[in-house]
Amino acid sequence: MKKLYSLILLPLIAVFMLVGCGETTRTVKEVQDLYNTMVETYNTQESYTLGNWYFQKTSVAETETQKYLKMYVTYDNSNKLNDATYVSLSEDEEGAPDMGADYSPSDELKTRYEQLTTIYARTLTMAFNYYTNWSETFFSRIDAVDSEEKEITNLYGKLNELKRELESFNTAKLNIEREVQLFGLDSEIVASSLDVFNYNYNALLEKVLNFVNYFRDLHVKYYFSNNSVINSAYAQRVYDDGLLTIANYIYYDYLKALTTNGTTKLVKLTDTSNKFDIFNYGSNNLTKFAKVVDGRVKGVTGISNIKSKLDIEGESVDKTNATNTVKLVEVALNTFKQYFGIYTKVFDKVNMESFNNYRFKTSGGYDDFDAYASTLSPVQKANVNIMIDMEENKIYDFMSSLSNLIK
Amino acid sequence: MTSKILLRIGVTIGILALIFLGVWLIWFKPTNELEVFNNLTQLQLYKIENFNTVEDNASSRTKMFLSDGKEDNARTYSFDGGNFANNGNVKDLSIQIKNYRAYMFSEFDTYGSYFFTDIVNNLNSKVATLIQENIGFDVIYGVMDNAFDYYYSYAQLAEHVSNKDVKNMNNKISTLKSSYNDFQTTYNEIVNLEKQLDDFNNYTIISEITSLYKNLYLNYFDIIKDFNTLIVNLKDFVNQYVFDGKLTLDKNVVVYDMLLNSVAEFVKEDPTLTLKSGTNKYIANNNINNSEQVNEDDNNFSKFLYDITTITLVYTYNCTENHLEQNSLKIDKEIEYYSILANEYKEALYGENNIFQLNRSEKFGLVDNDFENNESNEIKSMYKVEYVDMLRTLVNKFYQILETDLIFGGNN
């Protein structure tokens, strides 16, 4: 009889233990504590008035350090990595990036520095911006809404993954800083460390997007899903969601797409012959959205003009026009997100190596689209057409629409 | 005894299995989700073989060459070609052939412009040339082809498709294939006859060719009609099975919708209007510059064709040339209006009195802002007051009724 009981009981106990050992339920306070811990880890001893290596205050006047912190990468200044990244943004007389008189790095190094300071840096800041602007109100009110335990636990989990990834990233950053100090900005020895750093930057972006996307979904669910009043807060949310959406797209189409097996293929994304205007210097849309001051990303462009019109008391033509603008941008945002959802499904089906070869000539390229298309089955060709449509049409249309909020 | 029981059990199981198999085959067999996409792919190949035309790379429209493959041979049928003797009857026929080719392949030259005299005369010469080069079934077909390609790409992502909708799509594909086939058959007959044409004064053969060109023209019209029906159904299919019925309006969708809705109205028009004897009366008087003798129906159809191909011009500037900063054909505002209407006042775009079903005179009535004009006011009263301005803007832009200098922003 005992044997019979043990035969029945043992599997039951095993099942209970399995269920019992699931993910620990987390509270809102634990999420906030984890975030504060992550931020405090990277405080420096130097007098960076605005914060630490990764999380920066909105302004010097901000006294509560954990509120409204932007995310961008700052380098140890002693090895001139910041100078390189700053200098790479200015141009010499012929319009080429000017690395300064003392340095003459190879084209590959120049391209790496340039892309890390423009595409990666701006995408990171734009991606985290939604959390920057809305975490304060989210956490101050979340106890008043009937949130699900599992959602807060998931949020904690994603933040924890971000924290861990930031640790790996920081290690890679320390390595690159050390090597630049030892060998100089233009040393080819630095190139392979930059490659690793680039790969870690990619991974960091992925975790930031996972975390902030989830946060955004919760924020909308609990605070904006039934909100029909178009005021300045509404407009701000739409705008921040727009920047996050663009960051998601850039990550997928240009960063993730070029990353395989631990390396990020180096492609000069700002090459105008590629027609990737969204990255180029000058007056293109990405520069409009990410605020770049002295070569460093200082946040995102504000929408104060339209917000002030939305906050006008009573009725007015300006207010009506502003309201309509926000409505239309929101439609454009939802439309783009819908197509982006399809795009991410298609992304996994496309042979990225040959697609990159077509659009960036990573292995010699193809004569034209027909030459590339002839290597594809009908289904593959259809998938590629969807990718190309996103790249050449939809992202531009969306960015153009979003830029109506910053006019 | 045991073996009998086993046999009975075996037979029972076998019969039950057959019943289940039958039920599954009839009601539960999953549809092949790529079936529609695969059939559309086959259609693309079929089209290349049976809609036997050559692509004009500059504008992705199709042109037909004659039997020896030289485009210049088209001019064989003109007055100025010098190939015709004094045989007045042959001249009459060649003008008719020229007429059909003009409507099919935008071959409007000095001769062909009489069809649009009252429109073209009011336009500056650059605009007139642009319009005349872009009027024809080939242009409409070309932009519809782009709309088809757009939705076709998404069709392969369809999930959980129903047998009924698959069957519907297959029917539409078959209908279009049949129209392509008819066109190709007629085209081959023309080519064969032309090979026999040593003497351009051969009335008998030229008369047969003329008759075939009439059929070819009607075949092409059918292709436009069936192609449009297919694309509309394809869009619905993609909306249902790829976008879960919630396809939102981005620029492409709006412009394609306007195009497809306009073509749907266009193909309700009677294409044989151009074939009435009024044309022959005009020819008989041998006075091609006397626009008063143009048949009224002829001109109405021509105007309708002008409208629809103006839309294709707008499409070309907005869907194929991106990042336009300065171009009066840009339609960002109109797309916004269309999106608003699609959300708030759908009937104006898709209902019984939608803007696409307005005839030319009614379109003028809607756009005209003369408050004393009873006819205009009557048309405007068909629509909700708060949306009239949006509708006016849409119709005006897409049909360029009043702003004839729209394309070049002024008289050049």
User: What is the model's pLDDT at position B284?
Assistant: 36
A57 phi and psi, to 5 degrees? -70, 155
User: What is the model's pLDDT at position A59?
Assistant: 59
Tokens standing for A13?
A: 């106990």
Is the pLDDT confidence value at B305 over 70?
A: yes
Is the pLDDT confidence value at B61 over 70?
A: no
Query: Distances from the Cα of A145 to the Cαs of A61, A222, A356, B235, B352, in angstroms?
Result: 32, 7, 46, 41, 47
3-state secondary structure chain B: CHHHHHHHHHHHHHHHHHHHHHHHHHHHCCCCCCHHHHHHHHHHHHHHHHCCCEEECCCCEEECCCCCCCHHHHHHHCHHHCCCCCCHHHHHHHHHHHHHHHHHHCCCCCCHHHHHHHHHCCCCHHHHHHHHHCCCHHHHHHHHHHHHHHHHHHHCCCCCCCHHHHHHHHHHHHHHHHHHHHHHHHHHHHHHHHHCCCCCCCHHHHHHHHHHHHHHHHHHHHHHHHHHHHHHHHHHHHHHHCCCCCCCCCHHHHHHHHHHHHHHHHCCCCHHHHHCHHHHHHHHCCCCCCHHHCCHHHHHHHHHHHHHHHHHHHHHHHHHCCCCCCCCCCCHHHHHHHHHHHHHCCHHHHCCCCHHHCCHHHHHHHHCCCCCCHHHHHHHCCCCHHHHHHHHHHHHHHHCCCCCCCCCCCCC
User: What is the model's pLDDT at position B62?
Assistant: 40
**Average pLDDT, rounded, for chain B:** 76
A310 falls in which pLDDT band (50, 70, 90)?
A: very high
**Which chain A residue has the Cα nearest residue B41?**
A378
Q: Under a CB-based contact definition with an 8 Å cutoff, are residues B136 and B221 in contact?
A: no
Which residue in B37, B150, B157 is closest to A342 by CB distance? B157
Q: What residue type is assigned to position A300 of the chain?
A: V
Question: Which pairs count as long-range contacts for B68-77, CB under 8 Å and 24+ apart, including other chains?
Answer: B74/B101, B74/B105, B74/B107, B76/B200, B77/B101
B339:A328 CB<8 A: yes
B61 phi and psi, to 5 degrees? -100, 170
Q: Would you call B248 an interface residue with chain A, using a CB distance cutoff of 8 Å?
A: yes
* pLDDT above 90 coverage of chain B, percent: 26
Q: Under a CB-based contact definition with an 8 Å cutoff, are residues A301 and A240 in contact?
A: no
Residue A361 and residue A274: Cα distance in Å, rounded? 10
User: What is the model's pLDDT at position B22?
Assistant: 81
Is the pLDDT confidence value at B364 over 90?
A: no
pLDDT in tens, B149-174: 999 999 999 999 999 999 999 999 99
| CB-CB neighbors (< 8 A) of B37 in chain A | 378-379, 382
Residue B19 and residue B23: Cα distance in Å, rounded? 6
* pLDDT above 90 coverage of chain A, percent: 42
* pLDDT above 70 coverage of chain B, percent: 67
Query: How many residues in total does chain B contain?
Result: 412
Q: Would you call B165 an interface residue with chain A, using a CB distance cutoff of 8 Å?
A: no
Residue B24 and residue A57: Cα distance in Å, rounded? 64
Q: What number of other Cβ atoms are within 10 A of residue A354's Cβ?
A: 16
Which residue in A336, A385, A393 is closest to B153 by CB distance? A385
**Which chain A residue has the Cα nearest residue B37?**
A379
Tokens standing for A173?
A: 């950053």
CA B142 vs. chain centroid, Å, equals 8
Is the pLDDT confidence value at B81 over 50?
A: no
Angle at B295 between CA B294 and CA B296, to 5 degrees: 110
Helix axes A121-141, A189-219, angle to 10 degrees: 30
Q: How far is B256 from chain A (nearest CA, A)?
A: 15
Residue A1 and residue A165: Cα distance in Å, rounded? 53
A338:B252 CB<8 A: no
- The residue with tokens 């449009």 is B228
Q: What residue type is assigned to position A324 of the chain?
A: N
B234 phi and psi, to 5 degrees? -65, -40
| Higher per-residue pLDDT: A41 or A297 | A41
Q: Under a CB-based contact definition with an 8 Å cutoff, are residues A89 and A117 in contact?
A: yes
Which residue in B156, B243, B322 is closest to A393 by CB distance? B322
User: What is the model's pLDDT at position B83?
Assistant: 44
| CB-CB neighbors (< 8 A) of A382 in chain B | 37, 152-156
User: What is the model's pLDDT at position A44?
Assistant: 67
Is the pLDDT confidence value at B80 over 50?
A: no
B321 falls in which pLDDT band (50, 70, 90)?
A: low
Give which of A379, A390, A404 to mutate to test B binding, by max B Cβ within 10 Å. Answer: A379
A342:B243 CB<8 A: yes
**Average pLDDT, rounded, for chain A:** 83
Rounded to an integer, the average pLDDT of A173-179 is 89
Q: Under a CB-based contact definition with an 8 Å cutoff, are residues B391 and B366 in contact?
A: yes
| Higher per-residue pLDDT: B397 or B322 | B397
Which residue in A335, A342, A379 is closest to B242 by CB distance? A342
| Higher per-residue pLDDT: B301 or B186 | B186
Q: Which of A103-117, A175-189, A232-246, B266-280 has the highest mean pLDDT?
A: A232-246
Angle at A88 between CA A85 and CA A93, to 5 degrees: 160
A386:B323 CB<8 A: no
Which residue in B152, B246, B323 is closest to A382 by CB distance? B152
Q: Would you call A369 an interface residue with chain B, using a CB distance cutoff of 8 Å?
A: no
Which residue in B156, B251, B336 is closest to A379 by CB distance? B156
Is the pLDDT confidence value at A388 over 70?
A: yes
> For strand A70-71 and strand A296-300, is the pairing parallel, antiparallel, or unpaired?
unpaired
A335:B250 CB<8 A: yes
**Which chain B residue has the Cα nearest residue A333?**
B250
Is the pLDDT confidence value at B131 over 80?
A: no
Q: List the 157-186 stretch of A: residues with Cβ below 8 A of B.
A: none
| Higher per-residue pLDDT: B38 or B134 | B38
| Higher per-residue pLDDT: A308 or A99 | A308
Is the pLDDT confidence value at B176 over 50?
A: yes
Give which of B41, B149, B153 to mutate to test A binding, by max A Cβ within 10 Å. Answer: B153
User: What is the model's pLDDT at position B285?
Assistant: 38
User: What is the model's pLDDT at position A265?
Assistant: 82
Rounded to an integer, the average pLDDT of A335-364 is 93
pLDDT in tens, B94-119: 777 777 777 787 766 544 444 555 55
Q: How far is A378 from chain B (nearest CA, A)?
A: 7
Query: Distances from the Cα of A339 to the Cαs of A16, A144, A351, B161, in angstroms?
Result: 43, 34, 20, 20
A328:B336 CB<8 A: yes
Is the pLDDT confidence value at B231 over 70?
A: yes
Residue A349 and residue B402: Cα distance in Å, rounded? 49
User: What is the model's pLDDT at position B52?
Assistant: 54
B279 falls in which pLDDT band (50, 70, 90)?
A: very low
- Poorest-pLDDT segment among A337-341, B2-6, B306-310, B381-385: B306-310
pLDDT in tens, A189-221: 888 888 889 999 999 999 999 999 999 999 999
Query: Distances from the Cα of A272 to the Cαs of A360, B6, B95, B182, in angstroms?
Result: 11, 79, 51, 48
3-state secondary structure chain A: CHHHHHHHHHHHHHHHHHHHCCCCCCCHHHHHHHHHHHHHHCCCCCCCCCECCCEECCCCCCCCCCCCCEECCCCCHHHCHHHHHHHCCCECCCCCECCCCCCCCCHHHHHHHHHHHHHHHHHHHHHHHHHHHHHHHHHHHHHHCCCCHHHHHHHHHHHHHHHHHHHHHHHHHHHHHHHHHHHCCCCCHHHHHHHHHHHHHHHHHHHHHHHHHHHHHHHHHHHHCCCCCCCHHHHHHHHHHHHHHHHHHHHHHHHHHHEECCEECCCCCCCHHHCCCCCCCCCCHHHHHEEEECCEEEEECCCHHHHHHHCCCCCCHHHHHHHHHHHHHHHHHHHHHHHHHHHHHHHCCCCHHHHHHHHHCCCCCCCCHHHHHCCCCHHHHHHHHHHHHHHHHHHHHHHHHHHHHHC
Q: How far is B248 from chain A (nearest CA, A)?
A: 5
A336:B250 CB<8 A: yes
User: What is the model's pLDDT at position B73?
Assistant: 43
Q: What number of other Cβ atoms are within 10 A of residue A391's Cβ?
A: 18
Tokens standing for B224?
A: 């436009």
pLDDT in tens, B337-361: 998 899 899 999 988 899 998 888 8
pTM: 0.84
To the nearest 10°, report the CA torsion of A395, A346, A120, A67.
Answer: 80
Is the pLDDT confidence value at A99 over 90?
A: no
- Poorest-pLDDT segment among A205-219, A273-287, A291-305, B339-353: A273-287
**Which chain B residue has the Cα nearest residue A383?**
B153
**Nearest by Cα to B390 from B351, B342, B352:** B342
Q: Would you call B242 an interface residue with chain A, using a CB distance cutoff of 8 Å?
A: yes
CA B197 vs. chain centroid, Å, equals 32
| Higher per-residue pLDDT: A324 or B330 | A324
- Poorest-pLDDT segment among A23-27, A359-363, A403-407: A23-27
Rounded to an integer, the average pLDDT of B245-266 is 89
Rounded to an integer, the average pLDDT of A351-365 is 91
Tokens standing for A146?
A: 């009937």
Which residue in B156, B252, B339 is closest to A382 by CB distance? B156
| Higher per-residue pLDDT: A290 or A124 | A124
